Chain A
Amino acid sequence: MSTTVAPRLLFDDVAVGDALPALNYKVTATTVVLGALATRDWRPMHHDKDFAVHRNGTRDIFLNTPNQAAWFERYLTDWAGPHGRLGRVTFRMKGSVFPGDTMTLSGVVSSAEVDSVGCGFVVVDVSLSVGDDVKTTCTARLALPRSDDDNPWARRGEQWRPTPASGPAA
């Protein structure tokens, strides 16, 4: 496959400790409902405030898990560009995100290494916060091109190893 699109970010441009630009977003009921419908999640706690309050005991409807995954992907590829290829994401929900909240996504590169088949992976620790409260944390393993003519998406089979050989933590 010939690459005609220049990479936005190369593996060698990134160092451990680098901070990604923060993303701030004002969450509304529309954000929550649109995210639920876009992920085909029809459960009422993501669109019916009465249900969320009286059955789930939360203060309002709240962002669902798959939509948070989409927010994390958008945040990471805003930074990496279209060449960035997600290998693995792990996230933990510590609290809910409600209409009226302004959520902030921020991230720091916690590791960068070339794997045994020559693919450059960075690990980014991302937090989704509202004010001082961390609502969700995410650890993402993301492949970046190592040169202008490298393309992580071209990797197939044994050339693509989304989980590091050392284990699933990174």
Chain B
Amino acid sequence: MTAEDVSVDALPADVTELIGTEQYHEVGEFPVERGYIWTSCASVENGNPLFWDDEVAVALTGGPIAPPSMVSVWFRPHHWAPGRTEQALPLQVHFDLKARFGLPEAVMTDNTIEFHVPVRLGDVLRTHQVLRSVSEEKTTKLGTGRFWVIDVVYQNQAGELVAVESYTGFGYRRGAGAS
């Protein structure tokens, strides 16, 4: 889906105002670290020596880096942290839209990631989210709801662009309309 598919006239004004607005500027809860890199590689049996052999990493990338596809991993909050009274949610705009439209269920349907500067051990990344579009109400085999597109922009501690990730989500209500 693209922004051209969306009729913003059909949306509530408070949602329309959010389209294109930077929200939820955040800093990663912990520095990029090797344990998670290896856990990720192990989960998909990725033997790329770039992530396992420091000599290869030095030769090709000037030192160890994280797999590019891990970029969103560094932003998912801990399931619990001292003093936190509510569970923190990644991709908060997605959950805001579920609540705003009263849609209890949701799935992600499309995901695009554009990779820029590599992520290195010790980096502390920062991010913000931008709502790009929200569809009119639609019915799929899952139920009735709306599609939305959210961009997540990632930068490193030097302000260099690391990646731009774009998610398409479908928030929905299971019901008689679903086949």
A interface residues (Cβ-Cβ under 8 A, vs B): 1-5, 31, 34-35, 37-42, 55-57, 65-67, 69-74, 77-78, 82-83, 85-93, 151, 153, 156, 160, 162-163, 168
Contact = CB atoms under 8 A, between A and B. Distances in A.
B81 to A, nearest CB: 13
B76 A40 contact: yes
B62 A70 contact: no
B43 A70 contact: yes
Contact of B48 (A82, A89, A156, A163): A82
B15 interface: no
Contact of A5 (B43, B47, B60): B60
Contacts of A70: 40, 43-44, 46, 67, 69-70
12 contacts: A4-B59, A31-B43, A39-B40, A41-B76, A42-B76, A42-B79, A55-B105, A67-B44, A78-B47, A87-B115, A91-B111, A160-B116
B69 A66 contact: yes
B103 to A, nearest CB: 13
A69 B111 contact: yes
Nearest to A67: B43
Contacts, number: 125
B50 A34 contact: no
Nearest to B70: A70
Q: Name which of B40, B50, B116 has the most chain A CB atoms within 10 A of its CB.
A: B40
B110 A91 contact: yes
Contacts of B79: 42
Contacts of A56: 105, 107
B59 A73 contact: no
Q: Name which of A3, A77, A93 has the most chain B CB atoms within 10 A of its CB.
A: A77
A39 B67 contact: no
A5 B68 contact: no
Interface string B96-119: 000000000101111111111110
Contacts of B85: none
A144 to B, nearest CB: 13
A6 to B, nearest CB: 10
A70 B51 CA distance: 13
